[in-house]
Homo-oligomer: A and B are copies of this chain.
Amino acid sequence: MPFTERTPRVAAARALTRRQGRDKAGRFLAEGSQAVREALAFGEVHELFVTAVAAARNADLLDRAAGLGIPVSEVTDKAADGLSETVSPQGLVAVCSLVDQSVESALAGRPPLVAVLVGVSDPGNAGTVTRVADAAGAGAVLFAGDTVDPHNGKCVRASTGSVFHLPVARSRDVAGVLGACRDAGLRLVAADGHASIDLDGVDLAPPTAWVFGSEAHGLDEDVLSLVDEVAKVPLYGRAESLNLATAAAVCLYASAREQRR
């Protein structure tokens, strides 16, 4: 008999769809084939829940989980829906240990490229920037201030597994995060559409922490006053702006390419 939404282990997992529940249990949910594959490869997985339909589609992943000694339990569609934080439930969810570490630990390797999110409340944006940062070879992503929890289901999904790939940290203390970046030898460069300097006017060869604000509100003056440089992605046409993920892609890749020249 498949587990239902009232089965205690499913109910306990459901609590992980809320930030408070995740922080209390020290666990979060990775949903869908891609996230579960990355969780099995790079994360610490405690158990899997899967619907009959999803089990048929993901036999390879269930084999891998079995090989790792990870319990796999069949659940009803309704139970799976209750474990989903996304619009189209995937029927496959892994219960994982939280991936975040302290800011200091995330920066301990003194990475030459880091992304800092300040007040990014949209989980899809935060996850997509994490994916871009991973692709660009950033050594850490720091979720600062009122930024969404990196373990939020929509963020995990948008990151397509990247939350498992590189060090992730979160802290409410924005000034503390920026100070830790400076202590790790990083120049702080904020991306701001109203900056007077273009990306091309900034020396991107030195170790750099790019600071990104929310798509709706950008970065406030308090934050801008704490960085070394404020730069904008130039808008050559008539577009008023770029969205956060595409702007971050341009900034992070400009650094990545410059640092590898």
Contact = CB atoms under 8 A, between A and B. Distances in A.
Given A246-B128, A246-B245, A246-B249, A134 B200 contact: no
A152 interface: no
Contacts of A260: 200, 236
A136 B237 contact: yes
Contacts of A257: 199-200, 254
A52 interface: no
A222 interface: no
Interface stretch (A14-22, A99-107, A159-167): A159-167
A135 interface: yes
A261 to B, nearest CB: 8
A108 interface: no
A256 B234 CA distance: 10
Which of A138, A162, A257 counts the most B-chain CB atoms under 10 A from its CB?
A257
A256 B242 contact: no
A135 B239 contact: yes
Given A128-B246, A160-B240, A246-B245, A135 B235 contact: yes
Query: Which one of A132, A135, A161, A260 has the greatest number of beta carbons of chain B within 10 Å?
Result: A135
B166 A134 contact: no
A140 to B, nearest CB: 11
Contacts of A93: none
Interface in A162-190: 162, 165-166
A98 interface: no
Nearest to A42: B238
Interface of A: 42, 128, 131-138, 160-162, 165-166, 199-200, 233-243, 245-250, 253-254, 256-257, 260
Given A131-B242, A236-B260, 19 more contacts: A131-B239, A131-B243, A132-B246, A134-B237, A135-B233, A135-B235, A135-B242, A136-B237, A160-B241, A166-B237, A166-B238, A234-B256, A245-B245, A246-B246, A246-B249, A247-B249, A249-B250, A250-B253, A253-B253
The 8 closest A-B pairs by CB, nearest first: A137-B236, A246-B249, A165-B238, A135-B239, A134-B239, A134-B237, A249-B249, A250-B253
